[in-house]
Amino acid sequence: MKEPVKIKERPSSERGSNFDEVVLGYSEAEALEEAKRCLQCKNPLCSQGCPVGIDIKKFIKEITEKDYKSAYLTIKETNNFPSICGRVCPAEYQCRKACVLTKKGSVFASDNAINIHFLERFAGDFGKDEQVVNPSKPRAALSGKRVAVVGSGPASLCCAGELARNGVEVTIFEGLHKTGGVLRYGIPPFRLPRNMLDFEIDHLKKIGVKIVTSFIIGKAKTLDEIFAEGYSAIFLGLGAGIPSFLGVEGENLCNIYSANEFLTRVNLMEAYKYPQFHTPVNIGKSMVVIGGGNTAMDAARVALRLQKMAGLEPDTTVIYRRTEVEMPARRLEIHHAKEEGVKFEFLVQPVSFGGDKDGCVSALKVLKCELGEPDPSGRRRPVPVKGSETDIECDGVVIALGLQANTLLTNVVPGLKVDKYKDIVVDPETMATSLEGVYAGGDIVGGEGTVIEAMGMGKKAARAIIDHIA
Amino acid sequence: MKILYKENLVDIPGTKVTKIDIEAPHIAAKAKPGEFVVLMVSENGERLPLTVVNADVKKGAITLIFQEAGYSTALLGKMSVGDSLYSLVGPLGHATEIKNYGKVILVGGGVGIAEIYPVAAAFKKAGNLVTTILGARTKDILILEKELREASTELLVATDDGSYGRKGFTTDILNDLLSANKDYSLVYAVGPIPMMKKVAEATLPFKVKTVASLNALMVDGTGMCGCCRVTVGGHVKFSCVDGPEFDAHQVDWEELGKRNRVYIQKEKHICKLSLGGSSK
Ligand SMILES: Cc1cc2nc3c(=O)[nH]c(=O)nc-3n(C[C@H](O)[C@H](O)[C@H](O)COP(=O)(O)OP(=O)(O)OC[C@H]3O[C@@H](n4cnc5c(N)ncnc54)[C@H](O)[C@@H]3O)c2cc1C
Ligand SMILES: Cc1cc2nc3c(=O)[nH]c(=O)nc-3n(C[C@H](O)[C@H](O)[C@H](O)COP(=O)(O)OP(=O)(O)OC[C@H]3O[C@@H](n4cnc5c(N)ncnc54)[C@H](O)[C@@H]3O)c2cc1C
Ligand code: SF4
Ligand code: SF4
Ligand code: FES
């Protein structure tokens, strides 16, 4: 069997001082070669690994036939934004892990598994560049019906697109001044160039979706008021927006950021172009990032770039309490972070922060850990070793420990059922909430997940909404 | 988001305070005393939190009063009637709990005077006897005196230099009031951090409930980033969604003061670069 086709990447030496995209994608010849490696299994396991069940076998076959348009449309049947997913989807835990070419029992996909995500990106970019249109199919029964979509993350964008294609009048209300949710404020442009996102959002506008930014539902308008204005249904794609902190001493010292604040300053407010953009961010000589997920990798790679841009010797360390295999981040991001010079310290757990006289962080105290018995997630639990405290000197810290439900709206809607994590409770078949005509999806349902899961839920909700209002 | 009206309230070297009315019907319809908005002057601007000083439902407009503290407020000050902001979101934060407490004292310092105005008016309307204490460095920078006189039962002024009212600090007047009379149920303060801290210290021995509206640095103003976190009674709170008002006796003032100075070097730099010299 042929070797997997490597994806072209910007050399790490060229990545330091800019936010340009790192993964450059397959050429046509490379895509063809990779697509040909697919065994076209009788019983394609890959699709079972994809949260939205993309017909992977079919779109790969279409690529081998050079029918890229069909490949694009095949993906679009279940995934509205292939160019985005092809860039950010953790395929090694999903479709690629399920691919027959992955060794049985491995934690994530084997290298040999088909590079489904890269092929998806190739087909997605083809569709985008060639302006392939997924034709709208307005339904008479839906004409004149209006639906409000709250939030503009992937769940909402997907739901809005699906509704609009069926002829529903959709208005998106987004609290921030720009759309995209985490795709805009969280994921850095070197992973997801902003023109990808803008393209998809412009397309929504073209098919008639109205977008109102800087508008918080629950503050500027209630759900009841939306219904009273004549909307037939509401979709809530509120996301998991509230950063978790460690709850240890010294955590409010200056220059300790949540990943959300750090990334929002840089990605949304474009602090990396300060002073041309006016929002500042403080970048230290020694940065520490706490966590092991995508957010931690993004924060570390951003921190490293900012150090280089400021003319500092790059010095950014990721601290994680388990080991590399247990890190929930995409493997590619871990690989890129290392390549770019991010350092890793495994099996250490933060204990407290120390500061200087101005109240700025100057050190992080950590305990060494050992791996103990598996926890409910199946990963071995880190157990701190008594008396193993050490201090790590640092003058900037980013805490990337995950996010909790955004409660701005759910706190003020009586009767909307939420669970103990403040996530909205839905019927998994329809994404309907406890309130008539109100649906929800994305990270506000079931906690932090992935872009493709959020989109899947948005799409499922759109179908249920159509049934409800038609 | 169009600026409908603009007035310089104070314009002397070193201190510039401006009042603007902005078209924002959806915010005007909802805003309650104590709430704030976050605005951006331009697409490359900062997100700037300012208190809603007045909401005029009929005109569909809100009033903001701001002191030029640095780059972003200076840019806002340069905008003219007819110009539009890049973005404006609100109302944000918890509204002040308005009820009949009986006798209340409001303390406003500097531009904080603007922030107590809607609260004073609402307290008076709810039947409270409202004593308002205003503090300013000097007479020329005292704002909203006439308006607050109307919105209060009694108005007292302190200036640092004695150019108007009593010479000294708002807390001197506050101390005298509380010593002379034991039946105040609430003290509400907005102003510079050192003033709010002193107010909290002054009322503590009298065991009077004391509320301060904090001005922690913010980014989104919706609970998403934690930039605005403050320690209150040993617990971490987000000012924008848990506040901005908190029990002044429980606030870690020193921490707040330090956190609010974290970008001071950068701010000086951008002001020098872009405004031609410090705006201070
Ligand atoms: C830094 C980071 C990196 C990540 N990397 C990856 C990755 O590589 N691959 C992957 O698959 N997943 C990744 N994820 C996870 C993924 O981004 C999320 O699962 C996904 O974005 C969730 O989408 P959503 O639509 O639920 O909401 P979000 O993207 O969270 O968007 C919600 C939006 O709703 C708005 N909103 C909330 N409340 C209101 C209201 N009341 N009124 C109006 N607007 C409101 C918010 O402002 C926000 O814009 C990452 C997450 C982070 C934070
Ligand atoms: C909820 C809330 C309501 C507010 N309401 C008002 C109001 O009605 N009128 C008004 O004039 N101001 C108000 N502020 C303060 C206002 O937001 C700041 O003055 C402004 O952000 C300063 O921005 P700048 O870029 O002009 O100054 P910067 O250059 O950022 O700062 C200049 C100086 O001001 C200090 N500073 C910066 N931000 C703040 C802040 N948030 N609080 C205190 N000091 C700060 C800096 O440390 C520095 O010394 C409010 C703040 C909050 C959080
Ligand atoms: S969306 Fe993600 S999981 Fe599904 S096929 Fe594409 S890369 Fe794989
Ligand atoms: S499981 Fe792997 S090899 Fe089989 S069809 Fe799917 S991608 Fe191709
Ligand atoms: S300003 Fe971001 S959480 Fe309060």
CATH of the domain at B10: 2.40.30.10
Chain-chain contact of B92 with A219 (C-beta, under 8 angstroms): yes
- Domain-located, residue B173: yes
Q: Counting atoms of ligand 1 from 1, which one is nearest the CA of B220?
A: 47
Which has the closest alpha carbon to B116: B149, B86, B164, B140? B149
User: Does B199 map to a domain?
Assistant: yes
Q: What is the pLDDT of residues A292-331, one digit of tens each?
A: 999 999 999 999 999 999 999 999 999 999 999 889 999 9
Contacts of A242 in chain B (CB under 8 A): 223-224
User: What pLDDT, in 10s, does the model give residues A402-420?
Assistant: 899 988 899 899 899 999 9
Residues of A in contact with B91 (CB under 8 A): 219-220
CATH of domain A141-241+404-469: 3.50.50.60
Q: Which of the residue ranges A254-263, B24-33, B198-207, B264-273 would you say has the lowest mean pLDDT?
A: B264-273
pLDDT at residue number B277: 46
CA of A165 to the centre of ligand 3 (A): 22
Which of A248, A278, A353, A409 best tests the B interface by mutation, with the highest count of B CBs <10 A? Answer: A278
Burial of A230 (0-12, 13-18, 19+ CB in 10 A): exposed
pLDDT of A352 reads: 95
Can you give the pLDDT at residue B278?
A: 42
Q: Is B26 on the interface with A (CB under 8 A)?
A: yes
A407 touches chain B (CB under 8 A): yes
Domains A8-129 and A141-241+404-469 share a fold: no
The residue out of B68, B92, B116 marking a domain boundary is B92
B93 lines ligand 5 (CB under 6 A): no
Q: Which tens digits make up the pLDDT trace of B185-244? A: 999 999 999 999 999 999 999 999 999 999 999 999 999 999 999 999 999 999 999 989
Q: Which of A176, A179, A182 lies closest to A198 in space, CA to CA?
A: A179
Residues of A whose CB is below 8 A from B72: 278
pLDDT at A161: 93
The reported pLDDT for the residue numbered B146 is 92
Q: What is the pLDDT of residue B280?
A: 37
Segment holding A340, helix H or strand E? helix A331-340
Neighboring chain B residues of A256 at a CB cutoff of 8 Å: none
Average pLDDT over residues B112-132: 94
Q: Token digits for A145? A: 């019906």
Average pLDDT per consecutive 10 residues, chain A (470 residues; last block may be shorter) = 90 85 94 95 93 93 95 91 94 93 89 95 92 82 92 96 93 96 95 93 93 96 95 95 92 95 96 91 96 95 94 94 91 92 95 93 94 83 90 96 90 92 94 95 92 93 93
Q: Hey, are the CB atoms on B224 and A279 less than 8 Å from each other?
A: no
CB A124 within 8 A of CB A208: no
B216-235 core/surface letters (b: 16 or more CB in 10 A; e: else): bbbbbbbbbbbbbbbbbeee
Tell me what percent of chain B is helix, strand and coil, each rounded to the nearest 5.
Answer: 30, 35, 35
Query: Residue B241: inside a domain, yes or no?
Result: no
Q: Which of residues 218-237 of A touch B (CB under 8 A)?
A: 219-221
Cβ-defined contact of A252 to B227 (cutoff 8 Å): no
Q: Do residue B262 and residue A282 have CB atoms under 8 angstroms apart?
A: yes
pLDDT band at B279 (very low <50, low <70, confident <90, very high): very low
State if residue B90 touches ligand 5 by the CB under 6 angstroms criterion.
no
Ligand number, closest to the Cα atom of A268: 1
Task: Tell me how close the Cα of A4 comes to any Cα of chain B, in angstroms.
Answer: 40
The ipTM (two decimal places) reads 0.93
Distance, in Å, from the CA atom of A196 to the CA atom of A189, rounded to the nearest integer, reads 10
Neighbours of A129 (CB within 10 A): 11
**Cβ–Cβ below 8 Å for B220 and A176:** yes
Q: Is residue B257 part of a domain?
A: no
Beta strand ranges found along A313-389 (DSSP E): 316-320, 343-346, 348-355, 361-374, 380-384
CATH no. for residue B116?
3.40.50.80
Report CA(A449)–ligand 1 centroid distance (Å).
Answer: 9
> Three-state SS for B124?
helix
Range of the domain at B15: 3-92
Q: Considering CB atoms only, which of A242, A252, A257 is closest to B255?
A: A252
Can you give the residue ranges of every domain in chain A? 8-129, 141-241+404-469, 245-401
Tell me which residues of chain A, numbers 123 to 182, contact chain B at a CB-CB cutoff of 8 Å.
175-177
| Cβ-defined contact of B47 to A278 (cutoff 8 Å) | no
Give A245's contacts in chain B (Cβ within 8 Å).
Answer: 226, 229, 236
pTM: 0.93
Domain count, chain B: 2
Residue from B39, B94, B214, B224 whose CB has the most chain A CBs within 10 Å, to mutate: B224
Closest C-alpha to B31, from B78, B69, B63: B63
Q: Is residue B267's pLDDT more than 90?
A: no
Q: What is the pLDDT of residue B276?
A: 57
Residues B110 and B207 in one domain: yes
* Atom 8 (ligand 3) nearest CA: A95
- Closest residue on chain B to A244 (Cα): B226
What fold does the segment set A245-401 form as a domain?
Answer: FAD/NAD(P)-binding domain (3.50.50)
Place of tokens 């985490």: A182
- Do B121 and B206 sit in the same domain of this protein? yes
B236 in ligand 5 pocket by Cβ < 6 Å?
no
Q: Which residues pair with A127 in a beta bridge?
A: none
Residue in A45, A57, A75, A94 to alter for ligand 4 test, most ligand atoms within 8 A of Cβ: A57
Q: Domain spanning A8-129: which superfamily?
A: Alpha-helical ferredoxin (1.10.1060.10)
Q: Å from B137 to nearest chain A CA?
A: 26
The answer to whether residues A465 and A430 touch, using CB atoms and an 8 Å cutoff, is: no
Whether B230 is in a domain gets the answer no
Domain endpoint, select from B163, B188, B213:
B213
